[in-house]
Amino acid sequence: MNTTVEKASQTLAALNTKLADARLVLAEIDDRRQKLAYPAMTGDADAKKVLDKLNRDRAVHTADIESIDTAIAKARRDVGEAEAAAAREAQKERAREWLARARILEECVAKGEKALRAIAEVGETIEDVLGELNYELGLQYPNIAGFRAVADRPVDAALMFAPSGKALGNGQPKPGIFKRRHLAPGERTTLSEIVDGMVKTIRRSAAAVLDEANNAEAA
In tens digits, the chain (219 residues) has pLDDT values of 678 889 999 999 999 999 999 999 999 999 999 999 999 999 999 999 999 999 999 999 999 999 999 999 999 999 999 999 999 999 999 999 999 999 999 999 999 999 999 999 999 999 999 999 999 999 999 999 999 999 999 999 999 999 888 999 898 899 989 999 999 999 999 999 999 999 999 999 999 998 877 777 776
What pLDDT is stored for residue 219 in this prediction?
64
∠ CA 100-104-110, rounded to 5°: 145
d(CA 48, CA 36): 8
What pLDDT is stored for residue 216 in this prediction?
75
Integer distance in angstroms from the first to the last C-alpha of the chain?
A: 93
CATH architecture assignment, domain 3-96: Orthogonal Bundle (1.10)
Write the pLDDT tens digit of every residue in 32-48: 999 999 999 999 999 99
Rg, C-alpha atoms of the chain: 44
Phi first, then psi: give them for residue 161, nearest 5 degrees.
-120, 155
What pLDDT is stored for residue 217 in this prediction?
72
What pLDDT is stored for residue 1 in this prediction?
61
147: Cβ–Cβ under 8 A, 6 or more apart, which residues? 126, 127, 130, 194, 198
Distance set, CA 157 to CA 111, 113, 122, 210 (Å): 20, 19, 17, 37
**Cβ–Cβ under 8 Å, residues 22 and 61:** yes
- In the chain, where are the structural domains located? 3-96, 121-150+189-219
What pLDDT is stored for residue 136 in this prediction?
93
